[in-house]
Structure 1
Amino acid sequence: MTKVSGPASTVTGASVDIVNMVKNQGIGSAGRFYVALYLSTDAAITTADTIVGTRHFWGLSSGVTDSATTRVTIPTTLSAGTYYIGAIADYNSTLAETNETNNALSGNTVIITIGADLVMTAVSGPSSGTKGASISISNTVKNQGTGGAASFIVGLYLSTDPNITTTDLRLGTRSVGSLAAGASSSATTSVTIPTTVAAGTYYVGAVADYANTAVESNETNNARAGNVITVQ
């Protein structure tokens, strides 16, 4: 690798362009191989680092250099921090080379911050319900962050107060496969009111990523209270 470079900063879940250049400095032609692109916490780029993309070569003649700009996605599970952008020619060692120790190169550092930020923008249900009966809860979750969110689950709750938390009575859940920056996901979810719940007045509520599996820039704004429901 003779060059690898990318942006100075970005967010998890975002797509970025990495410029990468590979040269065959040997005296014979190279057959088919791949270049892999990495993020590393240090300047020593290895295949143990976080791979973010690859590009394919059918071959490369002696003395020839090939350059490309490859678009990759920053993993949504990556921790915030400073990383080195790197590349490894023939990362899976399919080629026989005269020197197998000079295939890696580190480029510039990139500051990565958490991009996703999930919020419930709407949640509502009926004004009354019966113990043991099903009700429908409409709910909308939005990723108001600047990067995509990985898959997560929305929890739907009954609460005795408008402060919805995961310690409230969870009636059901729905799964969201992933959510791009700025995108929303809406659904109407059927849940059952437990027969063991006490009769009374409750708030319908929802918590985005209630199991806390998605990495977010703000983990404190996931809950929302909706309307009041009378349970009989």
Structure 2
Amino acid sequence: MKQLAFDFDTTTKENNMINVNNNASDISNKTKISTCINEILNKKIIPPCVIIPNFLVGGESTMLCSLAGDAKTFFSQYSAACIATGSKFLGTTIDEAQSVLYIDSELSEYQIQQRFKLIYNSLGVSPKEGFLKIIHKRSFKGGMPDLSSKAGFEKLKPEIENSKVIILDNISSLYRSAEETVQNDWNFYNDCLDELRALDKAVLVLHHTDKRADNKTVISIVNTKNRHCANDGNMLKFEFGAIGIQEKFEFRKII
């Protein structure tokens, strides 16, 4: 990282002020790229669509990271079902149903079927026609396209454009040609995210941080430091599975 230092020369202050004024006059005669803060403050800007408060917002992306086997996919499938039906998400109200595209590169069609049967039964609702669409590894004859290339991304783009929420499950299996430690390999991934945000999509990206054998049924989601949240800390904790005396499958918020 470069370290920059400012060197102030008070003897040339007056001459510098003259140059600044002249430069400002020259810039005003050219095509503007920057925007005055006053213009931004006075502009009527449409607020982004909040899908799930503090979690998914239109025009933004969220990355869900954890060890393999920590129920990221189950949680994301539950999120998708809540969003696509306008059902409460762990006690949080979702204002209206939104179209969701779930891109799952690992589970079989049968596994997807069985999981969503459990989820919809636990929610007590039926899927709305066309609101939740799944692309899985058998959707293409040659297997899931490699999103590390433009050609792979273009194969999914028509479906992406018709959905408000995009869930990418997961980076490792969707961006197969990219080496995690090589920055240049991830430039196209970043370009993809930029394009999706520009299209006002709410994007949820799943990422494995490591692998381990045990599974958990009590999950804590922690805020990381980011541009929307100055401090990290617990966002929510929930459990899922056969809960209670009747052992009915459900998702339940703990805190």
TM range (shorter): under 0.3
In proportion to residue count, which structure has more strand? 1
TM-score (norm 2): 0.21
The structure having more radius of gyration, on CA atoms, is: 1
Give the TM-score, by structure 1 length: 0.23
